[in-house]
Structure 1
Amino acid sequence: MMTLDVSTWWSLLCAVALFNIAAWLMSSVALYRRQALLPPRAYSMRRLQLVLSAAYVLGCAFRSALPVFDVPRLCLIDSWLSSVVVGRSVATIAELCFVAQWALMLHEVSGSTGSRVGGFAALLIVPLIAVAETFSWYSVLTTSNIGHVVEESLWGLSAALLAVSLMLIWPRLSAKQRPLLSAWCLIGLAYVAFMFMVDVPMYWSRWLADEASGRNYLSVYQGFADVSGRWTVSHRLQDWQSEMVWMTAYFSVAVWLSIALVHAPVAQARLETSSGV
C-alpha cells in the first residue's frame, strides 16, 4: 500500500497530466482558429510547435502515470511499462522534442531580428541535448551518476545559451514584445541557477558517495539487460522524496511552457534594428 504522502503526490501528477492533455487540445483548437491571422510561414512553424508539444505533453503524462527512479530501478506501478528502458526511451524522445521547440522559437526570433548569435545558438541547442541524453543513458545503464553530472551540466549550458541569446535579441524587438522576452530570460536564468546550484551538485555528491563506498558499476551491456527486465516497486516516501520536487515541477511548469510556445507572438523587430550580434 502507498503511504498517504506518496499517494497524494502520485494523484497530483496524474491530475496535472490530464489537465495538460486538455490544455494541449484546447491549444490546438485555438491555433486553428488563429490561422487566418498569421502569416503562412508563422502558422506552419506553430503547427510544427504543436506537434512537438504533443510529443512532450504525452511523454510527460506517461511518466506522471508511471513514475520511475532510474538508477535504483524504482517504480510505483508493477508493470513492464514501468521499466527503466521504456521510461527513459519516452523521456529521450519527449525531451528532444521540447528542446527542438525552443530551438525553433530562437531560430524564428533570430531571423526576424538579424541576430547571428541567436541563429548559431538555435543550431547548437538540440545537438547539445542529444549529447546530454547519451550521457543520461550511460548513467542509467551503468548506475554511475557521473553521467548525470555531465547531462545536467549540458542542460544548464544549453539554457544559458538560450537566455544569453534572448537577452542580446531583447533590444532588437519592438517595445510591446519585450516584456514576454524578459519573462523567458528570467525563467531561463532561474533554470540555469537551479541546475548549477542544486541539480548538478546533487548528482556530483551521489557519485562521490558511490565512489567512497566502492560501488561496482554495471557495463553498458549488463545495464541494458538490467533496465529491460528488473524493476522494484516502492511506495515508501523515503525512496521518492528526492525526486518529488523536480518531477512535479518538470511535469507541470515545463509542459505549460511547451504549450505556450505554440502561441508565441510573431517576432517584430524595431524599425531601426541593424545587423549584428
Structure 2
Amino acid sequence: MSGVYVMVCAYRSVLPRVDLERLVVVDTRLSSIFLGRAAATIAEICFAMQLGLLVQQLGVHAGMPWVQRAAWAIPIFMVVAQGFCWHSVLTLNHITQAVESMLWAAGFSWMAALLGVIALDSSGWVNSLAIFGILCAMAFVAYVLVVDAPMYWRRYRHARERGQSYMRLDQGAHDAWHRRVRSGSWVAWKADALWLTPYFSFGVWASIAMACVPGV
C-alpha cells in the first residue's frame, strides 16, 4: 500500500494539477484531471488503510481488542471522502471538496482519540509511537481547519457570487478527461501549493515510515 501511494504521488508531483480549476503545468494526456483523480483515489484509500492498520496493530500490542475493531472506522472516513471529492471534481462545486477535507479531519481526529486511549494504557515504544501519532494527527486536523477547508469555502462563495453553474456528472467526467488549463504562473499555483507541498513530501514520508515501523 505504501508503494502504491508513493508511486502515485511521484506521478502526480511530476505532472501536478488542481482538479476543479483544471490547472496543469504540463499539458499532456497523462495530465488529465480525470486520470490524476482516479490514481489519487486508489492512493488515498491505500494511505487510509495504512492508518487503520497502524492503529489496529498498536491496539494488538496494547491488548485492546475494541481499539483494534474501532481502528477500521479511520479508513471509512477517508473512503467516504473520495465520493465527495469526485462529486466536486465532476460538478465543479467546491463545497463538497470542503466536505471531503472535513471528513479527512474527522478520520484523523478519531485516529488521535484511539491513539490517546492506547497511550494511556501502554508503555515503551507503543506508548511513544501513540503519542507521536497523536501529535501528527492533530497537526493535520489543525491544518485542515485553518488552511484547507477555509480555502475551499472561499472558492465556493466566490463561485456563487459569480453565478457559476455546476455541471452534470456526465458533463463533468468529459470535461475532467479533456479540459486542461496550462499555467506556470506562481500566482495561479500559490494557494494550492499549501496542500500540494506537504502532500507530496510529508505524506510520502509518513506512508514509508508506517511501512517500516518495527513490530507492526
TM-score in terms of structure 2 length: 0.95
The answer for the alignment partner of 2:17 in structure 1 is: 68
The alpha carbon displacement at 1:71 in A equals 0.6
> What secondary structure does 1:127 align onto?
helix
2:165 pairs with one of 216, 219, 222: 216
The answer for the alignment partner of 2:139 in structure 1 is: 190
Q: Does 1:243 align with 2:192?
A: yes
The alpha carbon displacement at 1:221 in A equals 0.8
Moved more, 98-107 or 168-177: 168-177
Larger of the two Rg values belongs to structure: 1
Q: Which runs of 5+ in 1 are unaligned?
A: 1-51, 268-277
Q: Tell whether the 8 Å contact from 2:84 to 2:100 is kept in structure 1 after alignment.
A: yes
Q: Tell whether the 8 Å contact from 1:121 to 1:162 is kept in structure 2 after alignment.
A: no
* Paired AA for residue 94 in structure 1: A
Give the whole-Å Cα distance in 1 for the aligned partners of 2:69 and 2:165. 41
Q: Does 1:256 align with 2:205?
A: yes
Give the whole-Å Cα distance in 1 for the aligned partners of 2:92 and 2:113. 34
The answer for the alignment partner of 1:30 in structure 2 is: none
Q: Percent identity?
A: 37
Moved more, 203-212 or 80-89: 203-212
The answer for the alignment partner of 2:148 in structure 1 is: 199
Distance 1:254 1:152, change over 3 A: same
> What secondary structure does 2:93 align onto?
coil
Q: Which runs of 5+ in 2 are unaligned?
A: none
Q: Tell whether the 8 Å contact from 1:56 to 1:255 is kept in structure 2 after alignment.
A: yes
The alpha carbon displacement at 1:138 in A equals 0.5
The answer for the alignment partner of 1:153 in structure 2 is: 102
The alpha carbon displacement at 1:111 in A equals 2.4
TM-score in terms of structure 1 length: 0.75
The answer for the alignment partner of 1:137 in structure 2 is: 86
In the alignment of these two chains, the number of paired residues is 216
